[in-house]
Chains A and B, each alone.
Chain A
């Protein structure tokens, strides 16, 4: 590693999305042959920084960014992915950019095919009519695979290959680019098993030894410690630390990554604290097939009357739990309430068992956006429990009509109780603010009179004041109506604020359950897969 020369410098990068600052004066510098780790929680701004570096359109359609990028000491304008590639930046994407129907060679050479002229292409002066030069393409692909020490045949189709290979093919594609000076790895080990991950780290070292500068984004701290030369920690869009590897310790990194002051609010007391002897729900080996949020065999118990938080990084399955139990995604395993098995894969049956769900997808699953507030509040209860309906005429018992009076009265009561700011029960929910929409979602779940309420990402996309109101509402429901609440959230802070216990999910399984006042380092480590531990 040549410390003197800088192959990449990003200076004072600031980026706002719709007035929201997601990156604030972030700077980062890479030397040739260096492995530089960029760590941070979801939402810390890592992806935005990479999108800027790679010239993604999403940056430029949202007003661009301020700050400058220098490559080999020269200022560059990376206004498109093509420009970034030209400048020598390679990106190994988090989701695979591989076409399953193409061979490994075709994928490695995708849109960089070597071609050969023929009569027609000469006639029309059109490169797009050139033949593909398959032998040369295969030779190049072979060379790139060899560089990664991968013995797989280059003519195999990608479909059906184990996931581990795919990551390497993606890397081979970048390695094949002659001009690559900087390689960005965006959480490359997220989908790999441990041996695969080790192998990948080996390749990383080898590439660095060839003089390529590597920017390695991850939240697996043990990997950072294993390969990184230098480490930058981002939190909430700001650089909180720049360390050399010899200065870093895993615990310190975890603390830097998660650490933020938790404002403690005084929660109202209970008559009786929930305990292990009185269980509301038992989850045994739950597997949920929710794309991007797979749950892979999770077991835990939920105490009656508690507020249980479920946290973890995006993609590790925390959202899958509620969606799976409620029957919105196919699932298997055993879930029982009061010793009574809950049928999976049947949303209707689950609702009848006294479970209710406030979905993280408020505008998609949660609400009928163009319907009035009152219908939104009552529709699930009407469907699942035949509430708010009346038989009419009486000689046709199968025919039920909605009971307008009852719906109106109940909705008015809910609007008053939950303090939904609106023009009246007939206002379409689309025109409500995010926080008030969320309250309608909660009201809808309450119309079912649930014993157990799942709430996913209740504060996503609503402003600070409204967040507080929603959290207060959940606490009130729990204390006054004795509803057991299972709250899933990406914001660890709010989980620690109102929950009795916080379960952390890692790679689709329970990593452990911590008390809300556990230290930042403990939470950080558990979320990053540091230690497995059964606490509380």
Chain B
């Protein structure tokens, strides 16, 4: 321990490595996607105003869903594919509100209120399951999502109608059993967006919806500064150490799941009020996959994700979503190629991010082992 009295050697060794190459290396994924988006936008020859309009709309529509992923990542539970469960809770609430005929912002708020306990219970259940599958949270949450989809279908295809009476021709399938494939959410459609939607430079900005997302960022930021946030981080880094230090690991992880599921429920409601129609049996299915892809495009990993990564990810991922079919149309005359490309990208980025994560994890372990040897 020659440098015991000189801690600066430790510190200066760190700051030197903060050069440009490191920035590129640590932000490789978003930079790659930025380049890809710009290239495609140029190829498609897009109108900037159109693109901005699309991206702003999608930012407002999707960011809450992506933000809902942050807390489980912090708690070391990886990417929560289980947010589809929260989305289902949101959809159930949206159908109920439509049936009751509560309109406008009041309808939207009632739907949020209604989805919260459902999502909280679902999150609690999911958290309990994940506590029994430590180390395999991601695949478990994904399968839980599929399982929940089965229950969701059971409820809305068979139970609604005969068991839960629903006297509304517009909602029920012609047979009188089960909810229609498509539900027109006239009551809450655009209810938040249209409160105040100024046009700035040709871009329509749904201010209230964006403010809600910003508010959620503030809330998550606040949470991270509290004792609970510290517990979440500690559990995320090492469950064993947290346990020995007296932190209630299982409880903390369940809280993370509940928060994530509830936020996802609200996120899905924001998504639906923007779209205006509900695909009863499909709207939720891709929510997990696309939100996770967006977060990863923003440069997050399964172990580290920040608010900014979520926002940057939404912007980049959805820019690519808008421009790639148009670029495909322009280049090959077939929009499907662009369409194909963006689906390919969505799944590809998840695969690459997960593989990269595993690889980096191994590198880190090897380096740690080498360092341990060098200290001798």
Contacts and interface: CB of A to CB of B under 8 A. Distances in A.
A98 B246 contact: no
Contact of A111 (B222, B225, B234, B370): B234
A55 to B, nearest CB: 11
Interface stretch (B4-12, B28-36, B88-96): B4-12
A131 B226 contact: yes
Interface stretch (A191-199, A208-216, A270-278, A435-443): A191-199
A128 B1 contact: no
23 contacts: A81-B244, A82-B246, A85-B246, A98-B241, A99-B234, A99-B237, A100-B237, A110-B234, A115-B226, A128-B227, A129-B226, A129-B228, A152-B4, A156-B10, A160-B14, A165-B4, A193-B375, A193-B376, A195-B1, A196-B1, A199-B4, A291-B369, A294-B372
Given A101-B237, A289-B370, A296-B373, A128 B228 contact: yes
Contact of B227 (A132, A150, A193, A296): A132
Nearest to B8: A153
Contact of A153 (B11, B230, B231): B11
A131 B5 CA distance: 33
Interface in B1-25: 1-5, 7, 10-11, 14
B342 interface: no
What is the interface of chain A mostly: helix, strand, loop, or mixed? loop
A152 B231 contact: no
Contact of A120 (B14, B222, B237, B241): B222
Given A150-B4, A199-B4, 19 more contacts: A81-B244, A85-B246, A97-B244, A101-B233, A101-B237, A111-B234, A111-B247, A128-B231, A130-B226, A130-B227, A132-B225, A151-B4, A151-B7, A153-B7, A153-B11, A156-B11, A162-B1, A196-B1, A296-B376
B372 A121 contact: no
A165 B11 CA distance: 14
B245 interface: yes
Contacts of B245: 97, 110-111
Nearest to B244: A97
Contacts of B222: 120
Interface of B: 1-5, 7, 10-11, 14, 222-223, 225-228, 230-231, 233-234, 237-238, 241-242, 244-247, 366, 369-370, 372-373, 375-376
A176 to B, nearest CB: 13
What's the interface size class on A, roughly? 35 or more
A161 interface: yes
A527 interface: no
B235 to A, nearest CB: 10
Interface in A290-315: 291, 294, 296
A246 B233 CA distance: 49
Contacts of B5: 151
A294 B3 CA distance: 25
A102 B244 contact: no
B227 A129 contact: yes
Contacts, number: 104
Contacts of A196: 1, 4
A291 B373 CA distance: 10
B369 A289 contact: yes
A508 B2 CA distance: 22
Contact of A113 (B3, B230, B244, B370): B230
A203 B366 CA distance: 32
A287 interface: yes
Interface of A: 81-82, 85, 93, 97-102, 106, 110-111, 113, 115, 120-121, 127-132, 150-153, 156, 160-165, 191-193, 195-196, 199, 287, 289, 291, 294, 296, 507-508
Contacts of A85: 246
Contacts of B228: 128-129
Nearest to A97: B241
Contacts of A100: 237
Contacts of B226: 115, 121, 128-132
A165 B372 CA distance: 13
Contacts of A192: 1
A93 B243 CA distance: 14
B246 A102 contact: no
Contacts of B7: 151-153, 156
Given A97-B241, A128-B226, A289-B373, A81 B246 contact: yes
Contacts of B246: 81-82, 85, 111
A164 B2 CA distance: 10
A127 B248 CA distance: 14
A11 B7 CA distance: 45
Given A163-B375, A193-B1, A296-B373, A132 B230 contact: yes
A198 to B, nearest CB: 9
A82 B247 CA distance: 10
Contacts of B230: 106, 113, 132
Contacts of A97: 241, 244-245
A253 B341 CA distance: 73
Given A120-B222, A289-B370, A289-B373, A164 B244 contact: no
Nearest to B222: A120
A206 to B, nearest CB: 15
Contacts of B369: 289, 291, 294
A150 B1 CA distance: 12
B33 to A, nearest CB: 26
B3 to A, nearest CB: 8
A49 to B, nearest CB: 18
A47 to B, nearest CB: 15
Contacts of A163: 372, 375
Contacts of B227: 113, 115, 127-130, 132
A289 B231 CA distance: 33
B31 to A, nearest CB: 24
A303 B2 CA distance: 41
A93 B245 CA distance: 11
Most chain A CB neighbours (cut-off 10 Å) among B2, B222, B227: B227
Nearest to B223: A129
Contacts of B223: 129
B373 A294 contact: yes
B146 to A, nearest CB: 29
Contacts of A152: 4, 7, 10
B244 to A, nearest CB: 6
Nearest to A191: B375
Most chain B CB neighbours (cut-off 10 Å) among A111, A121, A193: A111
A386 to B, nearest CB: 32
Contacts of B375: 162-164, 191, 193
Most chain A CB neighbours (cut-off 10 Å) among B5, B226, B245, B370: B226
Given A111-B245, A289-B369, A289-B370, A99 B238 contact: yes
A98 B240 CA distance: 10
